[in-house]
Amino acid sequence: MPEHAAAGDSVQILTRPLPADALQGYEPEFLRRIYARRGVRAADELNRKLSGLLSPAQLPDINRAAERLARAVAEQERILIVGDFDADGATAVALCMKILTDFGASHVDYLVPNRFEFGYGLSEEIVDLARTREPGVIVTVDNGISSVAGVARANEYGVDVIVTDHHLPGADLPAAHAIVNPNMPTADFGSRALAGVGVAYYLLGVVRGQLREMGWFDASRPEPNLAQYLDLVALGTVADVVPLDTNNRILVHQGVQRMRAGQCLPGIKALAEVGKRPLATLSARDLGFAIGPRLNAAGRLEDMSLGIKCLLAPDLTSARQMATVLNELNLTRRQLEQDMVGDAEFMLAEAAADDERVGITVYHETFHQGVVGIVAGRLRERHHKPVIAFADAGDVAPDELKGSARSIDDLHIRDVLDWIATSHPGLLLKFGGHAMAAGLSIKRVHLQRFGAIFDKAVRQFAAAEALQAKLVTDGELSAEELSLDTAEQIAAGGPWGSGFPEPTFTGVFQLVSQRVVGEQHLKLVLKLEGRVVDAIAFRQPPLAPDTEAVRVVYQLGVNDYGQWPTAQLVVEHITDC
């Protein structure tokens, strides 16, 4: 039940349930409540040491894949890494390049399809292109589970393919030498939330073990410590917005700790610099909102090879040059995003008078294929409905549209698309993805028909309450808990992210003062039981002058812009009482 729903406000404010028996005796009490509300039942689930990582033994095909890759290293075969054009794919490619080279492989190269020329995955065209490099083994990272035709083409050429992926498999699997994917139906691995870079990291760890058994490492070729590349694993995991279950939290925490100590690749240092994020205080949030988007900008607007080159840069000087270009691309992406969201909102407002849809589809001939995913996400946040944004597929398929879907909680978007594909054969040319995000292609002439069918499918699959905009909180903090110490302990208690959300609280405060800062933000002074605390509400118009009390949904953060750090409420939602 909603804890509060303001009059005239369509947003429900809910409180996560608090299991009574979870983490008994854990201190401090506010962290016990936070962790318990995220499903943590025992303190050992909060272990962030590498020793707490799941064993790779239950990942399907991992030994077969590792044996083949170890043999390729030992026999100096040509190894070609085929990646995806997002941050998860880029970090996975860089990880494989770095570690395989450390293992002593002499012929390791990579290939990332340009999304505007080839599209996603190990297609037949990509295999034809790959053949010109004469690989003995192709390793896919963050893709390949749906590349049935591409793997078949590689088999015709006598090239072994090792698929490493985390996307959900379809009905038909590629005839690869090995498929390493925690989401295979037969997988007994304890986490289905690994990102593509996480799957690659696990495989490379087993490859190292195989090479060790072969006596490959010696004084002239020392065995590498793979923990030194957890910065890449952390970045790719957070940027791909996979759930931060216990295993992923260990990977991300360890990677972030290395970054904070300055023990990270020059490319990551340079990306942090252009994102104005000091390494010493870096958080998982910074990876998701500052570093990841700049890396992703390469694949969205041009070619992800630029992002990979930045990650592989040998020194900070060259890394800074590439990071500067990536930063400029990200600025261009932001402007494109702003324009596209504005156009989409205008189209939705026009259409709403005649047709109020639950499943939203938008398309405009000016939409950029590399940005539609972000636009779908922005519209999803504003309307709290699943959204698919389409763009022209380009010269590769001029009669097709490529769509990017973003879903809401409790609506598995890939299941929705699977139902559409099954009940309307031929409507979807291809599709794939996760519960919250997916990609698809349709014929341009089918856009209107698809929109109606998608709306029907959402109405069928989504419960009415799932379509109600809501803010889920961790309840109230006491006046004593509104402190700098609490804010710092929450920050240190992460990593926070998808599936393990950053703590959000609610409460009723007296409004002491308000003033506009930066033209569109509201600086507030609030009071709770005699304790005064600062607050900032971004893009918030002033409240009525006679407002005396407000209900606020907020995160408790640290304001370190003054001489001394202080606690500050970062307001997500505010209404008068």
Q: How big is the chain, counted in residues?
A: 577
| pLDDT band for position 368 (cuts 50, 70, 90) | very high
Residue 417 φ/ψ, nearest 5 degrees: -65, -35
For residue 28, cis peptide bond before it (omega within 30 degrees of 0): yes
Distance in angstroms (rounded) separating the CA atoms of residues 258 and 456: 48
Looking at every residue in the chain, the average pLDDT score rounds to 94
Partner residues linked to 440 by β-bridges: 403, 431
Same domain flag for 165 and 192? yes
Give tens-digit pLDDT for 122-181. Answer: 999 999 999 999 999 999 999 999 999 999 999 999 999 999 999 989 889 999 999 999
Domain-ending residue, one of 432, 466, 500: 466
* pLDDT at residue 4 in the model: 33
Q: What is the domain count for the chain?
A: 3
Distance in angstroms (rounded) separating the CA atoms of residues 43 and 31: 12
Same domain flag for 198 and 86? yes
* pLDDT at residue 497 in the model: 95
Same domain flag for 458 and 478? no
Contacts of 208 (CB under 8 A, 6+ apart): 99, 103, 223, 224, 226
Which H, E and C letters describe 201-221, residue by residue? Answer: HHHHHHHHHHHHHCCCCCCCC
What's the rounded mean pLDDT across residues 246-250? 97
Q: Annotate 309-371 with DSSP letters as a single string.
A: HHHT-SSHHHHHHHHHHHHHHHHHHHHHHHHHHHHHHHHHHHHHTT---SSEEEE-TT--TTT
**CATH, residue 436:** 3.10.310.30
DSSP 233: H
Q: Supply the range of the domain harboring residue 535.
A: 12-17+471-576
Residue 472 in this model has a pLDDT that exceeds 50: yes
Same domain flag for 462 and 514? no
Domain-ending residue, one of 428, 448, 466: 466
Same domain flag for 311 and 165? yes
**CATH, residue 563:** 2.40.50.460
Distance in angstroms (rounded) separating the CA atoms of residues 244 and 232: 16
> Quick one: CA dihedral 39, 45, 50, 52, positive or negative?
negative
340 located within any domain:
no
What's the rounded mean pLDDT across residues 39-68? 96
* pLDDT at residue 469 in the model: 86
34 located within any domain:
no
Distance in angstroms (rounded) separating the CA atoms of residues 555 and 507: 11
Q: What percent of the chain has pLDDT over 70?
A: 98
* pLDDT at residue 449 in the model: 97
33 located within any domain:
no
Alpha-helical segments (H) within 104-226: 124-131, 148-156, 196-213
Residue 218 φ/ψ, nearest 5 degrees: -150, -170
38 located within any domain:
no
* pLDDT at residue 519 in the model: 85
Buried residues in 83-101 as b, exposed as e (16+ CB within 10 A) = bbbbbbbbbbbbbbbbbbe
Q: What percent of the chain has pLDDT over 90?
A: 86
**CATH, residue 273:** 3.90.1640.30
Distance in angstroms (rounded) separating the CA atoms of residues 263 and 308: 19
Residue 354 in this model has a pLDDT that exceeds 70: no
Residue 1 in this model has a pLDDT that exceeds 50: no
Q: 84 with 141: CB under 8 angstroms? A: yes
| pLDDT band for position 353 (cuts 50, 70, 90) | low
Pairing state between β 437-443 and 400-406: antiparallel
Same domain flag for 169 and 72? yes
Same domain flag for 205 and 317? yes
179 located within any domain:
yes
Domain-ending residue, one of 443, 466, 489: 466
Give tens-digit pLDDT for 374-425. Answer: 999 999 999 999 999 999 998 878 999 999 999 998 899 999 999 999 999 9
What's the rounded mean pLDDT across residues 336-357? 87
What's the rounded mean pLDDT across residues 344-353? 85
| pLDDT band for position 312 (cuts 50, 70, 90) | very high
Provide the token pair at 550. Answer: 């407000």
Helix and strand numbers (H, E) in the chain are 17, 17
Residue 219 in this model has a pLDDT that exceeds 80: yes
338 located within any domain:
no
Distance in angstroms (rounded) separating the CA atoms of residues 97 and 537: 44
24 located within any domain:
no
Q: 509 with 526: CB under 8 angstroms? A: yes
| pLDDT band for position 294 (cuts 50, 70, 90) | very high
Same domain flag for 272 and 318? yes
Residue 92 φ/ψ, nearest 5 degrees: -65, -40
Same domain flag for 437 and 484? no
Residue 3 in this model has a pLDDT that exceeds 60: no
Same domain flag for 279 and 249? yes
279 located within any domain:
yes
- CB neighbours (10 Å) of residue 353? 7
Distance in angstroms (rounded) separating the CA atoms of residues 552 and 569: 9
Same domain flag for 112 and 248? yes
Cα dist from 3 to 92, 128, 189, 511, 529, whole Å: 43, 58, 38, 21, 20
Same domain flag for 272 and 200? yes
